[in-house]
Structure 1
Amino acid sequence: MSRGWLYDGAAPANERRREVRRPLGIPSIAYDAQRRLRYACTVVDLSHHGAQVHCSRAEALPDDFELFINGTEAIRRTCEVVRRGPTRLGVRFRGR
């Protein structure tokens, strides 16, 4: 059953993750904790507890940041980076 952008239920059998990820491709904005720096990014996919974020320079984002996901249901989450590549980040939402 879907609830907005997020899916309830278990992940498919061939998926190692515990949660279902929903593909999005939505332009978003990441801010540092002091809101001095602003980074344009795209949320590639989203689950209840985290997301995959594409940013042209992923190394420029701090290990902790605020993510504002635009769309019909605007979402703001505090994120912790758990995976970092040249252009992609795997983040866990704090307080979820």
Structure 2
Amino acid sequence: MPRPCCERPRPLPLRPPPTAPPRPAGAVKLTAKGDNVFSGIVELPRSTAVEYKYIKKNPGGSVTWEPGGNRTFTTPSTGTHARNDTRK
């Protein structure tokens, strides 16, 4: 079942965990939902630790990674989980 994931203040898609190579081209594209609020849905396995980071795709194709460490959470064993993050 899809899990709501990303009410965001900025259009910064998800990044895979550090064990996987960074893949900006495979990032989840977020949709504008209002003034500085963006949303996306990602299906993830239950009871799984997740690390992610936001990126911004700049004009010309370069990518700016969110500063600081990865964001983390664990998916629930049942139901859905919404993330409401603020840009770092």
TM range (shorter): 0.3 to 0.5
More strand per residue: 1 or 2? 1
Normalising by structure 1, what TM-score? 0.35
Normalising by structure 2, what TM-score? 0.37
